[in-house]
Structure 1
Amino acid sequence: ELLERVRRGGGEGAILRHTQRNQKLFVRERLRLLLDEEPFLELSPLAGLAMPYGDVPAAGCLTGIGKICGMWCVFLASDATVKGGTIYPIGVKKQLRAQEISLQNRLPSVHLVDSGGAFLPLQAELFPDKLHGGRIFYNEAIMSALGIPQVAVVCGSCVAGGAYVPTMAEEAVIIDRIGTLFLAGPPLVKAATGEDVTPEELGGARLHSQVSGCTDHFAPSEEEAFECIRNVISTLNPRVIPEGDTQHDSPLYSPEELLGLAPRDYRATLPVQLILSRLVDGSRFQEFKASYGTTLVTGFGHVQGHLVGIVASNGELAHDAALKGSHFVQLCGHRGVPMLFLQNTAPQPPGPANMAQAHRLKAQASMMGAVACAAVPKITVVIGGCYGGDSYAMCGRSFSPNFLFLWPNARVALVDSRHFFTAPRAGDSGCTDESELNQLKANWDYLPVSSMTVSTALMFYCAFKPDQSSVLSRLEEESSAFYSSARLWDDGIILPQDTRKV
């Protein structure tokens, strides 16, 4: 339902204005003309939903990976039906993520520009800082220096800072009568100089193709523009190994069954072997250290014909499991084998503090170091719950996996809301009871939250005790997969049965 809502962009009315009055193709129709006739991967389609400044479907731009003339490319396509084509902070973040993927994987990038520029009321959130809008142009320059091709199609308005995107690309196509390119539009020219000028006179296709030279190709129509850009991409001559038609076996158990196996109760851990048998080719999995550190499953398997090293949560990331994970990750790094992390760490109930916790921290730190330094492609899929430091060792977002996807049931949080603190009895007020403070200290000593001291925890408890229900409700909301994906903390929510395809 959410995906269908996002596919409608700014809504039926906005699409009609875009296609009928403005005589332009809808962004998804443009992608149909740009990409080869085979499936493509759309990234973060739920980004921008339920943001503090309102809904921005798909963050106002579509990004993803698809084939053009048989070549894998990253695309960034503006959706001018969303908010009139203006760029919101979440839209900047989504474009930067697409450029990061292009840079990491050395894939050509294609920009389809149709934007009214920055949304000025939020300029403080998308202009001045290091990772705001200007970073897009910086990335273009760095990628060009590294020999990563970038091309653009001006298929609508291209105003203000956005005008640098096509002018910094290697080759750019502009479409007659609908493509315009300028730093300030006719209304601002009128306000500043009193001069009346049309968009075509100020920055139309003929001007930039014949006079300024800002664009390299003139296209009379959108169809011809996308045919032109496909021809451009066919001449890029990338130094890549051609793909072979790899033969692979299907799993012995249907991947469709993954939908029913997706963990729902985070107080218990599903044996991850049930997941693996529906993910790897032929359900064949060469397990590494099968009898040691059994709360982490590691080993080698093939997915769609590609060899991968798999690191899969099977419970708490205890001392032995973390040491095993560190060893296996280093092994994959030395062999140059890409890694797949499956996160599903069950939150642990309070228990007595002992030296085992300190040993576990040291082992987890070792695994974090191994994951950070492994110079191989890494993909992370959160298939259930993932809490606290375990998410770092299992290649969470801050450890820069090449891609990170969530199943819809995923929960990602520092702590589980059920273990956060014990709800006070009715009639309690304030943190003045000495026995209550002592009990709280004991409880916090048991909780596996190493980054929060007892004193800080008690201060937090006292501050929020009168309003615990709202705090817990907020923590529950912010742990959901949809909250994460709306803010681009991942690369999208995928259905469990589609994991092999992705």
Structure 2
Amino acid sequence: MTIFKSALDTRTGDFAANRAAMLEKLAELDKEHAKAVAGGGPKYTERHRKRGKLLARERIELLVDEGTPFLELSPLAAWGSDYPVGGSVVTGIGIVEGVECLVTANDPTVRGGASNPWTLKKIFRANDIALANRLPVISMVESGGADLPSQKEIFIPGGRLFRDLTRLSKAGIPTIALVFGNSTAGGAYVPGMSDHSVMIKDQSKVFLGGPPLVKMATGEESDDESLGGAQMHARVSGLADYFALDEMDALRIGRRIVKRLNWPRKPRPQAQSPRYSDEDLLGIVPTDLRLPFDPREVIARIVDDSDFDEFKPSYGDSLVTCWAQLNGYPIGVLANARGVLFSAESQKAAQFIQLANQTGIPLLFLHNTTGYMVGAQYEQGGIIKHGAAMINAVSNSTVPHLSVLIGASYGAGHYGMCGRAYDPRFLFAWPSAKSAVMGPAQLAGVLSIVSRQAAAAAGREFDEDADTVVRAMVEQQIESESLPMFLSGHLYDDGIIDPRDTRTVLGLCLDVINNTEFQGAQGYGVFRL
């Protein structure tokens, strides 16, 4: 039997301290998520309700199958920026009539649902996910178009939104627009370029230019209905494929469209729950990420039956590689054990990734790395070429990748473990995660050494007091920029998740991936041997 025998003692002081710290981070995360849910705030929410309209998340809840989960993506987009948290749009994956769909919903309580730069980035990421995983796309539209004060950041890249819709359609992936209100200017092309469009009586308004713009441009007097009302588009222009009487009717029609897609779904495999409680995941990662922890304890709490087979367990033991099943699906896992990646770990990872591609098995990367080892001994031993082999294998691997940042993810180790730039199908982070070019103290120290050397070369005295101040400032800056909410706000992950939800989230991702056809890489770049 290869069922893992846990050595985790949940009664120790360290475990209790780790758990308390994680719960504190989760409480902070809940406060930030609440800002996204609040949208434009009570004033604009109440005004929206007085118009007899549902909120964005209420529309989603009524669209998806009852009792099924909705995996919201990038909920903290724009965190730390001048724009509202959430990017004025909700995106995520939900099950509609038994079909996993990518859903986007404008939040009309935030500046009328107008798109800002973060709205675009969030929707672009959602479209990438839909294309890679062949998910039908449902756009729940209510937007006044571009947030005009930020047009310089929106107009040029914004054209990709329409390009994405046409490319999804060309790939045979259905696109559906449910228009709940305004869809004006460039936004009119969302229903215009979707395969199916639903408009609502006396509520949907779809036009390139509203009455004021038409008056200014042509002198013509017009009204909303004759320009772009639902009845006009259903009876005259033909832009509306379905005419709904109200929002509930539009949601019903949207569900019926999905039901009639004849969308193929593969059967879901049988799964066994882990033998250990997911509550234990709260106390495994130390508050000080410089302290090691055994990632097998994490793996045992997310894979089926806590059963996995290690590959090369005695070689390159700073990296755990193993074969397992998660939610019934075969999977290969790479998990950092003691942070640093040496030559042996790099070679082991490259071989493991090749094996997964040979057998068509998806890969899961659990990050807790400070990067590749430095120093004369390791440079002479070939750490660059061995690290390059690992990155080569990750870069050219064609099986689906999933990444979860559970601890540190620094330097080129972030790349070798399939960070955002390496296009994992999905990437999530725990509240304990940190990611940057290197640790804050190391980065500040490097800058200090460089400044000291520059002073010596110029023949001037080095200011120790100023150096102390600068180092503190740099450490503080890098620390703040390496935290998960900052990274999630920049869409460097698909969301920060509660460690206890890791198996559920990964299981949903594997369900989505299961609907696609994929095969392992047939070749790689040149490996330096």
TM-score between both structures, scaled by the size of structure 1: 0.89
- Give the aligned partner of residue 33 of structure 1: 62
User: Which residue, out of 225, 228, 243, partners 1:218?
Assistant: 243
Residue pairs, 1:427-446, within 5 angstroms: 431-433=454-456
Distance 1:357 1:301 in 2: 36
Distance 1:437 1:379 in 2: 51
2:312 corresponds to 1:312: no
Q: Deviations along 1:310-356, whole A, 9 cap, x unmatched? A: 0111121110001000000110111011111000014689x743344
Which stretches of structure 1, 4 residues or more, deviate above 4 A after TM superposition? 428-431, 434-439, 463-466
User: Which residue, out of 170, 186, 189, partners 2:214?
Assistant: 189
SS at match of 1:289: coil
- Give the aligned partner of residue 205 of structure 2: 180
Give the number of aligned pairs.
470
- Give the aligned partner of residue 371 of structure 1: 394
- Give the aligned partner of residue 399 of structure 1: 422
The answer to whether the 8 A contact 1:61-1:76 is kept is: yes
**Bigger shift: 379-388 or 466-475?**
466-475
- 1:136 Cα offset (Å): 1.2
- Give the aligned partner of residue 367 of structure 2: 343
- 1:224 Cα offset (Å): 0.5
SS at match of 2:394: helix
The letter of the residue matching 2:155 is F
Are the structure 2 counterparts of residues 156 and 430 from structure 1 closer, same or farther at C-alpha, using a change threshold of 3 Å?
Answer: same
Distance 1:94 1:240 in 2: 27
Distance 1:317 1:352 in 2: 13
The answer to whether the 8 A contact 2:444-2:475 is kept is: no
Q: Percent identity?
A: 41
The letter of the residue matching 2:382 is H
Are the structure 2 counterparts of residues 185 and 429 from structure 1 closer, same or farther at C-alpha, using a change threshold of 3 Å?
Answer: same
- Give the aligned partner of residue 23 of structure 1: 52
Distance 1:271 1:226 in 2: 47
**Bigger shift: 254-263 or 87-96?**
254-263
Distance 2:459 2:288 in 1: 30
The letter of the residue matching 1:7 is V
- 1:196 Cα offset (Å): 4.0
The answer to whether the 8 A contact 1:424-1:465 is kept is: no
- Give the aligned partner of residue 59 of structure 1: 87
SS at match of 1:292: coil
- 1:357 Cα offset (Å): 6.1
Q: Deviations along 1:274-293, whole A, 9 cap, x unmatched? A: 11121111111110000000
- 1:264 Cα offset (Å): 2.2
- 1:5 Cα offset (Å): 2.4
Distance 1:115 1:356 in 2: 55
Distance 1:392 1:159 in 2: 41
User: Which residue, out of 477, 480, 484, partners 2:483?
Assistant: 480
User: Which residue, out of 481, 492, 496, partners 2:495?
Assistant: 492
Q: Deviations along 1:184-205, whole A, 9 cap, x unmatched? A: 1222223334444322222100
Distance 2:249 2:470 in 1: 61
The answer to whether the 8 A contact 1:269-1:345 is kept is: no
- 1:423 Cα offset (Å): 9.0
Distance 1:194 1:277 in 2: 70
SS at match of 2:341: coil
User: Which residue, out of 206, 214, 232, partners 2:257?
Assistant: 232
- Give the aligned partner of residue 284 of structure 2: 261
- Give the aligned partner of residue 21 of structure 2: none
SS at match of 2:314: coil
Are the structure 2 counterparts of residues 326 and 24 from structure 1 closer, same or farther at C-alpha, using a change threshold of 3 Å?
Answer: same
Distance 1:375 1:168 in 2: 30
- Give the aligned partner of residue 270 of structure 2: 247
CA RMSD of aligned residues (A): 2.5
The answer to whether the 8 A contact 1:312-1:343 is kept is: yes
**Bigger shift: 188-197 or 292-301?**
188-197
The answer to whether the 8 A contact 2:370-2:411 is kept is: no
Residue pairs, 1:419-434, within 5 angstroms: 419-422=442-445, 431-433=454-456
The answer to whether the 8 A contact 2:372-2:413 is kept is: no
Are the structure 2 counterparts of residues 278 and 199 from structure 1 closer, same or farther at C-alpha, using a change threshold of 3 Å?
Answer: same
**Bigger shift: 118-127 or 466-475?**
466-475
- Give the aligned partner of residue 102 of structure 2: 74
Distance 2:459 2:404 in 1: 41
The answer to whether the 8 A contact 1:430-1:465 is kept is: no
Distance 2:489 2:205 in 1: 31
The answer to whether the 8 A contact 2:346-2:386 is kept is: yes
Are the structure 2 counterparts of residues 341 and 357 from structure 1 closer, same or farther at C-alpha, using a change threshold of 3 Å?
Answer: farther
Q: Deviations along 1:379-402, whole A, 9 cap, x unmatched? A: 000000010001111000000000
Q: Deviations along 1:212-236, whole A, 9 cap, x unmatched? A: 0111010010101110111111111
- 1:424 Cα offset (Å): 9.9
User: Which residue, out of 146, 158, 162, partners 1:133?
Assistant: 158
User: Which residue, out of 50, 58, 62, partners 2:80?
Assistant: 50
Give 5+ residue unaligned stretches, structure 1: 440-460
Distance 1:379 1:158 in 2: 35
RCO (CA 8 Å, sep 6+): is it higher in 1 or 2? 2
User: Which residue, out of 422, 426, 436, partners 1:413?
Assistant: 436
Residue pairs, 1:285-364, within 5 angstroms: 285-314=308-337, 315-346=339-370, 352-356=375-379, 359-364=382-387
- 1:436 Cα offset (Å): 9.9
- 1:496 Cα offset (Å): 0.7
- 1:122 Cα offset (Å): 1.5
Distance 2:85 2:144 in 1: 16
The answer to whether the 8 A contact 2:455-2:461 is kept is: no
